[in-house]
Chain A
Amino acid sequence: MDNLIFHSALFGFIISIAAYEIGMLIKKKFKLAIFNPLLIAIFLIILFLLFFNVRYDEYNRGAKYLSYLLTPATICLAIPLYEQLDYLKKNAKAIIVGISSGVFASMTSILVLSVIFHFNHQEYVTLLPKSITTAIGIGVSEELGGIVTITVAVIIITGVLGNIIAEKVCHTFKIIEPVAKGVAIGSSAHAIGTAKAMEMGKVEAAISSLSIVVAGIITVFAVSIYANFM
């Protein structure tokens, strides 16, 4: 019976959806950023697989079909970007300069910290895409020879942390302009952070979500330089 269930290609697929639904329920009930549905789902599935002694590749036999959808879904990020193109045009200089400085700050801080902690090249490139959307980050990590699973985990933790600290950081460092808040959140904490920007206001939300895409694209080019530094 166990074999019948765990060997079915549907098993990994269904348990992923179920775990995510449970995550959504918990998030709805507690409304705290730390209860991120994705974080909960990953945690639950790992516990489940360990408890029932199911190997990752058995799980992934079904779950991989979800991963296949990631490239087409990422391409569709162009749709909201297209719809917000006016926002981008209106504040083009500030947004582009702001995001580029953010990408530069991200890569440089990771480089410096990687040297301090004696990370090897693979660990370093695994971390480089940590502030961008998972969709593009997975591709970047793969292309650079990073450990993709760690990249994903780090990206999600970054997003959750960014979501939690966004208001405090903006307040402490006197980031008041809604456009600047949007750029700060979108380029540091991607989609999970943007959920917080949506609570702040319409401009913050629009700028934050377009920053995700722009930061992702700039990062793709920046990493090809930074990857050579260590």
Chain B
Amino acid sequence: MRLLEQFGIILTLTLIVEIIRAVVPLPIPASVYGLILMLVLLKTKIIPLASVKHAGKILLETMPLMFIPAAVGLLNSWTVVKTIVLPLLVVVAISTVTVMVISGRVTQMVIHIDQRRGDAK
């Protein structure tokens, strides 16, 4: 399908979920509604993969660029950040390691339990 049509589909979905977000009183970003909706539409083949794949790839590849403007906003919030920068870094370090270890160990534990059950049968 032509690139323009692919972008058209993705942007139409975006518009729909922006409306959903505005109507539903939950703290859920429009992008998450969109992600789930897109997954359902792909799975049910209402939207064939080929009709969004190329445009999707372009958007995903350029995604890091889209974070830049928000991050540069640090310039404006620097006065706030300055006062908590050290605790902030401590929180990042401790919680990142914690999440990595716990999610990895728990996943591995479940796999091993399942394997043992499989062997016992």
Chain A residues with a Cβ under 8 A of chain B: 12, 16-17, 19-20, 37-38, 41-42, 45-46, 49-50, 56, 59-60, 63-64, 66-67, 69-83, 85, 91, 93-95, 97-99, 101-103, 105-106, 109-110, 113-114, 117, 119, 123, 127, 130-131, 134-136, 138-140, 142-144, 147-150, 152-154, 156-158, 161-162, 165-166, 169-170, 173, 175-177, 179-181, 183-185, 187-189, 191, 211, 213, 216-217, 220-221, 223-224, 227
Query: Are A16 and B107 neighbours in the complex by a CB distance under 8 Å?
Result: no
Per-residue A-contact encoding for B67-109, CB less than 8 Å = 1, 0 else: 1111111111100110010011111111111111111111110
Contact B89 A157 (CB under 8 A): yes
A143 CB contacts on chain B under 8 angstroms: 27-29
The majority secondary structure among interface residues of chain A is helix
Residue from the list B14, B96, B107 in contact with A177, Cβ < 8 A? B107
Provide the residues of chain B in CB contact with A75, threshold 8 Å: 10, 13-14, 17, 31, 34-35, 37-38
Across the interface, do A82 and B43 meet the contact criterion of CB distance under 8 Å?
yes
Beyond A177-B108, A224-B26, is A148–B43 a contact (Cβ under 8 Å)? no
Q: For residue B18, which residues in chain A have a CB less than 8 angstroms away from its CB?
A: 71
A-B contact pairs, 24 of them (CB 8 A): A12-B69, A20-B64, A45-B72, A56-B72, A66-B65, A78-B39, A79-B38, A79-B52, A94-B107, A98-B106, A103-B99, A136-B31, A139-B29, A150-B74, A152-B74, A162-B100, A165-B100, A169-B97, A173-B104, A173-B105, A184-B107, A187-B99, A187-B103, A189-B96
Chain B 41-67 interface 0/1 with A at a Cβ cutoff of 8 Å (1 = within): 011000001001101110110111111
Cβ contact within 8 Å between B56 and A79: yes
Residues of A within 8 A of B67 (CB): 38, 70, 134-135, 138, 152, 156
Report if A152-B102 is in contact (Cβ < 8 Å); known contacts: A46-B75, A66-B65, A130-B95.
no
Total residues of chain B contacting the partner, CB 8 A: 74
- State A60–B76 Cα separation when bound (angstroms): 12
Cross-chain contact A166 with B100 (CB below 8 angstroms): yes
Q: How far is the CA of A136 from the CA of B24 in the complex (A)?
A: 17
Please state if A183 and B97 are interface contacts (CB–CB under 8 Å): no
